[in-house]
């Protein structure tokens, strides 16, 4: 019963609203809906902006993280390059030291070989030097004229010994230095006197006062000579 009364009242109220009021209500409803729509769009735009800002912040964080990683990698690369340069410098220094040591060793081997070759080549030098005075004595003795058979026999024996010694020395590479008639050579001859002699060219050995000897290519004793002016 009460529900029927309320419905009757609402119907009566609606019947009492004028057409102009009805249009105004509809406009208010439309405006309200537009405001709700704008508010909804604004909220959506704000949400979109918020999401965009979040994405932007995430991108900035990622870029910052990448830059940090890149910076660390650059630092590690620079440290590695510095270490490589240091190791290369040490290797270069060791190579130079090795080359110097190798050169020193090669020089030492060459000197040792030369010294050994010279020692082998001139091994008889000391003996030859000691025998030269004896050879000089033999030569002086052989120049003496023998007056009897006994003296001649003794001189013949001395000459045989002298020749034997010369042959033995020759086998070792000892030879007498040529002097008389040869141009004076300060490496081979020792001039003790200068004389005028028309039979020889100037600066020529005219007389040998003492024999000179050389062992292979080494002069043991220069010949003592007279030289023409």
Tell me the pLDDT tens digit for each residue of 120-146.
Answer: 777 888 888 899 999 999 888 888 887
Q: Report CA 21 to chain centroid distance, whole Å.
A: 109
Provide the pLDDT for residue 13.
47
* Mean pLDDT for the chain overall: 84
Which residues face 224 on adjacent strands?
190, 210
- pLDDT tens-digit series, residues 70-80: 888 888 898 99
- Please tell me the distance from the alpha carbon of residue 55 to that of residue 63, in angstroms, as a whole number: 12
Q: CA-to-CA distance for 36 and 20, rounded, in angstroms?
A: 24
Confirm if 135 and 168 have CB atoms less than 8 A apart: no
Q: What is the gyration radius of the CA atoms in the chain, in angstroms?
A: 64
* pLDDT (tens digit per residue) in 12-40: 444 455 566 677 777 777 777 777 778 78
- Reading the block at residue 40, the tokens are 């909804």
pLDDT at 9: 52
């Amino acid at each position: 019963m009460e529900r029927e009364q309320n419905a009757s009242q609402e119907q009566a109220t609606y019947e009492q609203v004028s057409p102009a009021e009805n249009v105004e209500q509809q406009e208010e409803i439309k405006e309200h809906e537009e405001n709700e729509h704008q508010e909804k769009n604004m909220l959506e735009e704000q949400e979109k902006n918020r999401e965009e800002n979040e994405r932007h912040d995430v991108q900035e964080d990622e870029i910052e993280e990448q830059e940090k990683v890149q910076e660390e990698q650059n630092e590690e690369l620079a440290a590695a390059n510095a270490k490589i340069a240091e190791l290369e410098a040490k290797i270069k220094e060791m190579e130079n030291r090795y080359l110097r040591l190798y050169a020193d060793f090669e020089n030492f081997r060459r000197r040792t070989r030369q010294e050994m070759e010279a020692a082998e080549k001139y091994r008889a030098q000391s003996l030859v030097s000691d025998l030269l005075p004896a050879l000089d004595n033999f030569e002086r003795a052989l120049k003496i004229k023998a007056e009897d058979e006994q003296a001649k026999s003794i001189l013949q024996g001395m000459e045989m010994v002298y020749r034997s010694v010369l042959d033995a020395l020759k086998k070792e590479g000892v030879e007498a230095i040529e002097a008389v008639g040869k141009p004076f050579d300060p490496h081979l001859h020792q001039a003790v006197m200068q004389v005028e002699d028309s039979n020889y060219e100037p600066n020529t050995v005219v007389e040998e006062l003492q024999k000179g000897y050389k062992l292979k290519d080494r002069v043991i004793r220069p010949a003592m000579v007279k030289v023409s002016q």
